[in-house]
Amino acid sequence: MSSATDTPSSSVPSSDRVFDMIHRRMSDSEGSRAVSEPISKIARDVGYVAIERVIGVSPDGYLRSATSDSTS
C-alpha cells in the first residue's frame, strides 16, 4: 500500500538522461530551429522539476541564475 503512494526515484530522469533528451531535440530539427524553440517544450517531456534541478530553467523557459536562489 505504501508503494502506491510512494513515487519511485526512477520517475525523475537523471541529469545525463535530461541532457541527452535535450541534445536529441536540438539535433532533431536541424539544430538552430530547435534551439530557438522555448525550453519549456522540452521540459514538458522530461518534467519541469527535473529541468529546473539540472540546468536551472524555469517552466517558462527562462534561464535562472544558480546563485540567486531566493525569488520575491
Tens of pLDDT along 25-72?
A: 655 555 455 455 566 666 666 665 665 666 655 555 555 544 444 444
Q: How many domains does the chain have?
A: 1
Residue 4 lies in a domain: no
Q: Cell numbers for 15, please give them.
A: 541529469
Contact 40, 59 (CB under 8 A): yes
Residue 55 lies in a domain: yes
Residue 32 lies in a domain: yes
Residue 49 lies in a domain: yes
Residue 5 has pLDDT above 60, yes or no: no
* pLDDT at position 66: 47
Which structural domain range is residue 23 located in? 13-63
Model's pTM, two decimal places? 0.23
Residue 72 lies in a domain: no
Residue 69 lies in a domain: no
Contact 17, 26 (CB under 8 A): no
Amino acid present at 46:
V
